[in-house]
Chains A and B, each alone.
Chain A
Amino acid sequence: MLDLSPTEWTAVLLSLRIALVATAFALPFGMAIGWLLARKEFWGKTLLDGLVYLPLVLPPVVTGYLLLISLGRKGPIGAFLADYFGIVFSFRWTGAALSCGIMGFPLMVRPIRLALEAIDRRLEEAAGTLGAGRLLVFLTITLPLALPGIIAGAVLCFARALGEFGATITFVSNIPGETQTISAAIYTLMQIPGGDAAAGRLVLFAIAIALAALVVSEWFARRAGMRVQGK
């Protein structure tokens, strides 16, 4: 039952790679934006807030379409990146990672922002009087105290990236070995007569990966939470 064919394995591994890369690249941006939204008042904050959450409320196909016309080979940004930097997103696994990262981004920013807002700023003041400059305060106080939220955000983004379908298939299509993730592979198999068994196997794998991610993140979050509460 759980013997995956080489094509199916490829889809599983590709999904994991895309989701991990998407999360890793989204994380620094997610932390920066979460920090801006939690701590700073600036012109256009409401707009930024809205933009960040846009992928959550837009139909994924719309996000994928917007990516295609801007970052596709003939899109203004896509052509520029390809001509000057040799970076190509369209029909590549990197494009899949990009669309997955964008779709997971709102889910990542929210817990990070909430965690930063929940930190007692007076602790940071105290750290300042003890000789820590702003960067050291961030690294030794803010970051460890926000860690549970950062982990939660990363896990949600990873889970969303793993399950992403609409934006990805619209933007980079469904190419086995390049952009065919588990979701896309299941969709393809469902279109083929007799593909049900293979689709079923992939479904089980998707469930297993999702459960494993939940268990691991729960463990990390609990540890980090205990540290923060000083248990």
Chain B
Amino acid sequence: MIVLAVDVEKELGAFNLAVRFEAAGGVTALFGPSGAGKTTVVNMIAGLLLPDRGSIVLGDKVLFDAAARINVPPHRRHIGYVFQEDRLFPHLSVRQNLDYGRRMSGHPRDPDDFARIVALLDIGHLLERRPRLLSGGERQRVAVGRALLMRPRLLLLDEPLASLDPGRKREILPYLVRLRDHARVPMVYVSHTAAELRRIATKVVRLDAGRVVASGGLELLEQADADALG
């Protein structure tokens, strides 16, 4: 079943992007070198950047359609976004950060859901702290929890491990795999690291210079390694 259908074009100065792909449940990897346009694509899916042409459909809901002049604003898209930098709110505690999405969307309090995700990400001991006092890995886990607790229809993760050192990366990846297997939220996962994606992705869309160059299974990652070596 197709969950997300993206068909967008955007000109950004000299950079010209035209990307078309579809994603089902599971984890769709947007894979490619820096400057391929991966972040640009997820920003358009989240509604933070307006495409010049095309459409974005999530489930049965049209989020963007240039021809029909439809553009749902970010706060009504119900798409969780884990940014490269955690972007936690510095003036709120971890608990308030986690609760922010639920409060803003007007969902009733759900202690079971909260407890489940806090346990999944192992952040229960951090709840009363301020983000400033957390380690990079802890901050990124809280950011994932915050995006999940808004009950998104889709979760976007833009290089969630990029700002972490190798040890921290190894620390977080298992949580993300657990998320894939237990949270039942479709994900779009941006990365330029094949090794990382091999652990988590279920489908791969390869981008280069603003174009989809290949789309398919995990074998595309092996091919990328071969290209890089050859």
| Interface flag for A6 (CB, 8 Å) | no
Q: Which residues of A contact B81 (CB under 8 A)?
A: 126, 129
Are A129 and B91 neighbours in the complex by a CB distance under 8 Å? no
Of the candidate stretches B70-78, B160-168, B178-186, B208-216, the one touching chain A is B70-78
On whether A128 and B75 interact (CB within 8 A), knowing A122-B85, A227-B91, A230-B91, the answer reads: yes
On whether A129 and B90 interact (CB within 8 A), knowing A136-B104, A230-B130, the answer reads: no
A116-136 contacts to B (CB < 8 Å): 120, 122-123, 125-133, 136
Interface size for chain B: under 10, 10 to 19, 20 to 34, or 35 or more residues? Answer: 20 to 34
Are A129 and B79 neighbours in the complex by a CB distance under 8 Å? yes
Are A125 and B74 neighbours in the complex by a CB distance under 8 Å? yes
Q: Which residues of B contact A40 (CB under 8 A)?
A: none
| Interface flag for A141 (CB, 8 Å) | yes
| Interface flag for A145 (CB, 8 Å) | yes
Which single member of B46, B47, B73, B91 contacts A228 (CB below 8 Å)?
Answer: B91
Are A145 and B74 neighbours in the complex by a CB distance under 8 Å? no
Residue among A128, A130, A133, A227 having the largest count of chain B Cβ atoms under 10 Å: A130
B68-125 contacts to A (CB < 8 Å): 73-81, 83, 85, 87, 89-91, 100-101, 104-106
Docked CA distance A227–B132 (Å): 11
Q: Which residues of B contact A (CB under 8 A)?
A: 46-48, 73-81, 83, 85, 87, 89-91, 100-101, 104-106, 130-133, 146-147, 150
On whether A128 and B89 interact (CB within 8 A), knowing A133-B73, A230-B132, the answer reads: no
Minimum distance in angstroms from B140 CB to a CB of chain A: 13
Which single member of B46, B106, B130, B132 contacts A129 (CB below 8 Å)?
Answer: B46
